[in-house]
Amino acid sequence: MTTSETPAGTQGAPGPSPRLRELGFFVGAWEAPGVFHETPFGPRKDIEMRVTGEAVDGGHWVLVRTEELPTPENPAPLSAHYLWGYDVAADEFVADWFDSNGGRAVQRSKGWEGDVFVLEGTMTMAGNSVPLRDTFTRKGPDAYHHIGEIDLGNGWIPVDEEQAVRAKG
């Protein structure tokens, strides 16, 4: 078993790892305005994003959905699904995601270090794979800063960046 724990001598389905509580911060609805930075893949553009997180499958996973809203600056908005969990054997968080451009990624994290949660791994799109890092910095109980970065061989460059606040109501 890699995503949950069952105490020795018990029967039945395993319960979620207690470490999954650390992802509880992301559960809920968020408004996340931000920017896609200029990269070799495209020009800079402002984005308006909605993010929702929910515990699923008996609390073993957190499903995070991101949805950019169409604007004049962003007529082809991106959406993505992230599935986050915890691998007990490896003692690390796992994240797999898929987006509306056909991109996908596999990432890992040791968890929160203070108010910073970093996922690192590999993103694949159109047959090419690159190192990917997503850094989330808590700015209190109802806000966080996110920056997504890739390494094309010359160090990390920013791709997207958002200031998320928990949606009211």
58 vs 44: CA distance, rounded Å: 40
State the CB neighbour count (10 A cutoff) for residue 95: 20
- Please tell me whether residue 120 adopts helix, strand or coil conformation: strand
Question: What is the per-residue pLDDT for 128?
Answer: 93
Of 169, 166, 5, 165, which Cα lies nearest the Cα of 85?
Answer: 5
The angle formed by the CA atoms of residues 58, 109 and 154, to the nearest 5 degrees, is 140
Tokens 């553009």, residue located: 45
Classify 16-166 by CATH class.
mainly beta
**Using 50, 70 and 90 to split pLDDT, how confident is the model at 1?**
very low
**Using 50, 70 and 90 to split pLDDT, how confident is the model at 82?**
very high
- Token duo for residue 10: 């018990």
pLDDT in tens, 128-143: 999 999 999 999 999 9
Report the chain's terminal Cα–Cα distance, integer Å.
Answer: 38
Domain ranges of the chain: 16-166
